[in-house]
């Protein structure tokens, strides 16, 4: 296939026809659920959150559809430069963070705030897909071949940890692992890495100061501190649990309406939803997210180029990681790490990066029959 020197081109009509409109519809639906939650979180008002959420959603969807029309080879070409740019930005925020003597995750560009860690998630997926694109199974199974992609994961993870932003670091590791896994890296190599990490952990624990250990313990078990960090998760569980099967009724969630629920419009938006619509509404919303992820995985398997496959599955799993970490966090299954629920939580940056990601995903899907040279001409 890759011997075709003359790549076929697609007309605009072809492209529009082959956009996965069902996926777009599911995303619109999730965005609409987000509008309803934010409307309720404001006590039954489009201000201050729901209206702006809708505007961002509309703008983000337009941007997503525009990106979907972009030739997939453009992503292939910019993968390395984009990754380099992303690493540079991470170094920049770390330096600024040292200068300000505090955690720094943003680069302020006047009207827009740039969050390098969000850019890095997409850049990492693209660069790994680019690296693995020419690799046959035999290449992947050579340990030396994996050294470079391991570094591609390790460098941004290290830079993010310095911020410190454990949530994003875990997301990046998960995404890297997903792509390694999808290319067919052997199980035992994953097992080896996990075993190594577990072996190193006690040594690291021994080297830590007491106050550092205390921080880790509070982080791992916030309910030990019911007035501080634990307050959030305790109130979130009360809100969720008191929703019952049918919920307390839309606009009638007492925990959210009476402000017992912290961050009810951002990180804990899912709790607001689950309190008011109960097990039924929460499960239905989770089903929407799962639907999007499964559609993405399905799209990946029908692409002709390895690059497109890896990009699509990587971006799908990025979305899945967001949703799973956020909901598991508000349900008290994992520590509070401060990751929002995409398309539902209030916040422009995350919605924008998620929809850009889906733009690239749709682009790769639209061009799923387009071959990409194993080693393109420079």
Partner 1 sequence: MQQEAERLRWFKRRSLLLGAGTCGLFGTLVGRLWYLQMAEGQRYQLLSESNRVSERLILPSRGRILDRGGRPLADNAATYRVRVVRELTPDLPGTLERLGGLLGLSRERIAEILAQAQARPRFVPVGVREDLSWEEVARIAVRAPELPGIILDAGTVRHYPEAATLAHVLGYVGPVSEPELKGESDPLLQMPEFRIGKQGVERAYDPLLRGRAGLSRVEVNAVGREMREIDRSEGTPGQDLTLSLDLDLQRFAMSRLSAETGAAAALLDVRDGGVLALASVPSFDPSLFQNGISQRNWASLRDDKLAPMVNKAFKGEYPPGSTFKMMTAIAGLETGVIKPDTRIRCTGSIWMGSIEFHCWKKGGHGAVDLAQSLERSCDCYHYEVARRLGIDRLAEYARRFGLGERTGIDLPGERPGVVPTVAWKRATLDQPWHRGETLISGIGQGYVLATPLQLAVMTARLCNGGLKIAPWLVRGGERQLACCTALEPVGVAKEHLDVVLDGMFRVVNSPSGTARSAALHTPGVLMAGKTGTSQVRRITKADRLSGAYKRKDIPWEHRDHALFVGFAPHEQPRYAVAVVVEHGGGGSAVAAPIARDLLDRALQLDATVAASPRADEPA
Question: What Cα–Cα distance (Å) separates residue 287 from each residue in 148, 190, 251?
Answer: 37, 29, 22
**Selected binder of partner 1 within 30, 38, 152, 274 (CB under 8 A):** 274
- From the list 88-96, 150-158, 195-203, 284-292, the region that binds partner 1 by CB under 8 A is 284-292
Binding mask 184-223 for partner 1 (x = CB under 8 A): x---------------------------------------
Report residue 236 as tokens. Answer: 């979130």
CA distance 315 to 362: 10
What are phi and psi for residue 188, nearest 5 degrees? -65, -25
145 contributes a contact to partner 1 by CB under 8 A: no
CA distance 87 to 79: 12
Q: Please, what is the minimum distance in Å from the beta carbon of residue 111 to partner 1?
A: 33
Cβ neighbours around 354 below 10 Å, total: 24
Among the listed residues 347, 321, 326, the one whose alpha carbon sits nearest the alpha carbon of residue 338: 326
Binding mask 29-68 for partner 1 (x = CB under 8 A): ----------------------------------------
137 contributes a contact to partner 1 by CB under 8 A: yes
Is residue 298 within 8 Å of residue 365, measured between CB atoms? no
**Selected binder of partner 1 within 28, 279, 338, 369 (CB under 8 A):** 279
Q: Is 120 exposed, middle or buried (0-12, 13-18, 19+ CB in 10 A)?
A: buried
Under rule CB under 8 A, which residues in 303-362 are in contact with partner 1? 306, 309, 313, 317, 320, 324, 327-328, 331-333
CA distance 24 to 310: 20
What are phi and psi for residue 376, nearest 5 degrees? -65, 155
Q: Which is nearer to partner 1, 119 or 240 (CB)?
A: 240
Binding mask 234-253 for partner 1 (x = CB under 8 A): -x-xxxxxxxxx--------
174 contributes a contact to partner 1 by CB under 8 A: no
Report residue 146 as tokens. Answer: 């994996």
Q: Please, what is the minimum distance in Å from the beta carbon of residue 235 to partner 1?
A: 8
Q: Please, what is the minimum distance in Å from the beta carbon of residue 72 to partner 1?
A: 17
Collect all residues with Cβ–Cβ distance below 8 Å to 105 and sequence separation of at least 6.
93, 115, 116, 117, 163, 165
Q: Which is nearer to partner 1, 27 or 239 (CB)?
A: 239
Q: Which is nearer to partner 1, 218 or 242 (CB)?
A: 242
Site residues, partner 1 (CB under 8 A)? 1, 136-138, 178, 181-184, 235, 237-245, 254-255, 258-260, 274, 278-279, 282-283, 286, 289-290, 293-294, 297-298, 300-301, 306, 309, 313, 317, 320, 324, 327-328, 331-333
């Amino acid at each position: 296939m890759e011997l075709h020197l003359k790549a076929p081109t697609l007309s605009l009509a072809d492209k529009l026809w082959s956009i996965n409109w069902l996926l777009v519809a599911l995303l619109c639906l999730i965005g609409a659920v987000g509008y309803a939650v934010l409307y309720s979180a404001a006590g039954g008002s489009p201000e201050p959150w729901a209206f702006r959420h809708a505007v961002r959603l509309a703008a983000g969807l337009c941007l997503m559809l525009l990106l979907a029309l972009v030739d997939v080879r453009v992503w292939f070409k910019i993968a390395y430069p984009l990754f380099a740019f992303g690493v540079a930005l991470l170094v920049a925020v770390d330096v600024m963070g040292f200068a300000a003597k505090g955690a720094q995750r943003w680069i302020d560009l006047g009207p827009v705030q740039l969050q390098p860690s969000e850019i890095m998630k997409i850049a990492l997926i693209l660069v790994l897909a680019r690296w693995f694109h020419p690799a046959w199974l035999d290449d992947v199974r050579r340990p030396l071949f994996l050294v470079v992609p391991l570094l591609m994961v390790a460098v941004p993870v290290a830079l993010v940890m310095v911020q410190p932003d454990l949530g994003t670091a875990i997301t990046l590791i998960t995404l890297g692992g997903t792509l390694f896994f999808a290319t067919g890296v052997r199980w035992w190599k994953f097992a080896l890495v996990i075993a190594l990490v577990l072996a190193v952990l006690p040594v690291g624990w021994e080297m830590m100061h007491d106050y550092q250990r205390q921080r880790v313990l509070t982080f791992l078990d916030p309910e030990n501190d019911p007035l501080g960090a634990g307050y959030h998760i305790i109130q979130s569980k009360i809100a969720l649990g008191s929703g019952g099967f049918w919920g307390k009724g839309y606009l009638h969630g007492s925990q959210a309406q009476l402000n017992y629920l912290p961050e009810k419009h951002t990180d804990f938006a899912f709790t607001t939803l689950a309190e008011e619509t109960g097990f039924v509404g929460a499960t239905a919303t989770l089903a929407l997210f799962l639907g999007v992820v499964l559609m993405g995985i399905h799209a990946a398997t029908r692409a002709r180029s390895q690059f497109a496959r890896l990009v699509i599955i990587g971006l799908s799993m990025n979305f899945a990681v967001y949703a799973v970490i956020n909901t598991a966090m508000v349900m008290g299954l994992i520590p509070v790490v401060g990751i929002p629920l995409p398309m539902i939580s209030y916040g422009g940056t995350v919605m924008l990066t998620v929809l850009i990601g889906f733009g690239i995903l749709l682009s790769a899907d639209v061009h799923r029959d387009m071959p990409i040279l194993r080693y393109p001409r420079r």
